[in-house]
Amino acid sequence: MPRHSQPRSPAVVHRTARAGLRLSRGQRRRLVGLLVSAGDVWACVLELNAWRRARQDAPLAGYQALCRELAASGPGCFGELDSAGARSVLRRYSDAWFAAAARRKNGDASARFPRRRHWMMPVRWHYGTFALDGRRLRIPVARGCPPLLVRLDRNLPYPPESVRSVTLLYDAGRLWADITAEVSVTVYPPGEQPDPARVAGVDLGIIHPYAVAGPDGQALLVSGRAVRAEHHLHLKDTKARRRAVARRAPKPGQRGSRRWRHYRRRQRIVEARHRRRVRQAQHEAASAVICWAVARRVGTLVVGDPRGVLGIDAGRRHNRRTRDWRVGHLISALSDKAQQAGITLTLADERGTSSTCPACRARIPKPRGRVFCCPRCGLSGHRDLVAAANIAGRLPGGITPAVTAADVTHRRAGAHLPGVSAARRDPRRRPHHGDVRGSPGRHLPAPPDTTGRGVARPTARTRKSATGELTKMCTRTPV
Ligand SMILES: [Zn+2]
């Protein structure tokens, strides 16, 4: 596989898909063994450089130099891990070291060289070392070891000849394979390719992850309510679990009980599932935006970047909201998909875009609800679409913002989330809908009011204090 493509060959991008692995017990043990051996390689490099530093030698960070050390160590040092897999760990170390060095050179004193050991490290195999046939993956192992053939748990979205590398990794109790492929940028029939002069503005939000205002008053709203519900349910569930096990939490310095370890393991699995769900929903939302843009031949997307103000402390509830938003992932997912579709994406400052009237440029206070209404010229519209139109106007030659959205397309993110349809009830939600099995039934109305309209019925506490007041008054009046 050549490292550099031929001149004038079609443009390509590299994209990665993650697949789970269907494994027997023995295969799982062997794969974990490979990852642990990779962790040993990493620890060896750290140790080597610690010795060199103690001797005041220059650190060994170049990839070739590290590979020479690996070759000098001879076969059989790292269990079943083959030299291509071990070299991928060296490449990872070298890249991390030089990235930190470059950041320190540019004055970022917080950048640190790699120094932490890991029990397991991800291993990557490049093209030609593994074999992928449909869902069957042959993972290379050291010479003399029995072959290792595993199955992926889903079909890959890429043609098999475009696959360039396979990465084996461990996340929250499960083994995964990241498959990276070389995907060509979409080629359109003549007359249907995106037109760079057609600009759409994108406003990022929590209720609407993407609100897009395009040319000719066309607009797209992607609803993120299912994602927000997922965040709320996850937080509620986590808090309930934490309360339930708080008694068993080990004191500092104490070893946790077996039940505590089970709880911690379960919590890691739940967290990972929550992360996967949100990530998938955000990818679906970004796909909806790109499909919409391609169908309307939009060639430039201007995205309002709110990341400048997210570091400001705004209280624990709002901090949690902005943290859950994961706006960096929203931007990167959209930018990756735009690049693959041949659409240019630029970032713009979004300050003041949701509080400026796109028609008369008047500054109005940020509306609390979803509807923007200008008191000066009477323009009214969806708040997020108004912001998106303003963002599009920030690009020189962007759309003339005064157009109000006439043709709004609605899409939802997170169609796969549990609880979005009646067929998949979310087990974290209290069941009270209809006569579902195990449901306590519909909420009943409050019992009829016997003490008169608008008067709070006395509870045990208020009744007692009221009689106390009455007796005090009674005893006081005769005196
Ligand atoms: Zn106005």
Contact status, residue 330 vs residue 286, Cβ threshold 8 Å:
yes
Q: Is 159 helix (H, G, I), strand (E, B) or coil?
A: coil
Distance 185 CA to ligand 1 centre (A): 41
pLDDT of residue 470: 40
Identify the band that residue 138 occupies on the pLDDT scale cut at 50, 70 and 90: very high
Distance 354 CA to ligand 1 centre (A): 12
Distance 383 CA to ligand 1 centre (A): 13
Distance 201 CA to ligand 1 centre (A): 19
Residue whose C-alpha is closest to residue 403's, from 416, 413, 388: 388
Distance 203 CA to ligand 1 centre (A): 19
Distance 384 CA to ligand 1 centre (A): 16
Distance 302 CA to ligand 1 centre (A): 22
Distance 398 CA to ligand 1 centre (A): 19
Distance 374 CA to ligand 1 centre (A): 5
Distance 211 CA to ligand 1 centre (A): 20
Please say if the pLDDT value at position 448 is more than 70.
no
Please say if the pLDDT value at position 176 is more than 80.
yes
The two three-digit tokens of residue 471, written as one number: 């007796």
Minimum mean pLDDT range among 40-49, 137-146, 189-198, 318-327: 318-327
Distance 301 CA to ligand 1 centre (A): 24
Distance 305 CA to ligand 1 centre (A): 24
Distance 379 CA to ligand 1 centre (A): 6
pLDDT tens digits, residue range 410-424? 888 888 887 666 666
Please say if the pLDDT value at position 455 is more than 80.
no
- pLDDT (average), residues 420-431: 67
Gap between the Cα atoms of 177 and 183, Å rounded: 18
Distance 363 CA to ligand 1 centre (A): 8
Q: Is 430 helix (H, G, I), strand (E, B) or coil?
A: coil
Q: Tell me which of 407 and 455 has the higher pLDDT.
A: 407
Gap between the Cα atoms of 279 and 271, Å rounded: 12
The two three-digit tokens of residue 225, written as one number: 């309510």
Distance 404 CA to ligand 1 centre (A): 11
**Mean pLDDT highest for which of 21-30, 70-79, 406-415?**
21-30
pLDDT of residue 400: 55
Distance 376 CA to ligand 1 centre (A): 5
Percentage of the chain with pLDDT > 90?
Answer: 53
Contact status, residue 58 vs residue 37, Cβ threshold 8 Å:
no
Distance 375 CA to ligand 1 centre (A): 7
Q: Is 285 helix (H, G, I), strand (E, B) or coil?
A: helix
pLDDT of residue 451: 53
Gap between the Cα atoms of 380 and 449, Å rounded: 44
Gap between the Cα atoms of 231 and 213, Å rounded: 27
What is the average pLDDT value for the chain, to the nearest integer? 85
Identify the band that residue 469 occupies on the pLDDT scale cut at 50, 70 and 90: very low
Distance 357 CA to ligand 1 centre (A): 5
Please say if the pLDDT value at position 36 is more than 60.
yes
Distance 10 CA to ligand 1 centre (A): 47
Residue whose C-alpha is closest to residue 217's, from 372, 408, 405: 405
Distance 365 CA to ligand 1 centre (A): 12
Identify the band that residue 1 occupies on the pLDDT scale cut at 50, 70 and 90: very low
Distance 345 CA to ligand 1 centre (A): 28
Distance 212 CA to ligand 1 centre (A): 20
Distance 298 CA to ligand 1 centre (A): 27
Distance 242 CA to ligand 1 centre (A): 50
pLDDT of residue 70: 92
Percentage of the chain with pLDDT > 70?
Answer: 85
Distance 124 CA to ligand 1 centre (A): 56
Distance 213 CA to ligand 1 centre (A): 17
Distance 253 CA to ligand 1 centre (A): 63
Minimum mean pLDDT range among 149-153, 186-190, 314-318: 314-318
Contact status, residue 212 vs residue 387, Cβ threshold 8 Å:
no
Distance 403 CA to ligand 1 centre (A): 12
Distance 370 CA to ligand 1 centre (A): 17
Distance 390 CA to ligand 1 centre (A): 12
Please say if the pLDDT value at position 178 is more than 90.
yes
pLDDT tens digits, residue range 363-383? 888 777 888 888 888 888 888
DSSP string, 30-62: HHHHHHHHHHHHHHHHHHHHHHHHHTTPPP---
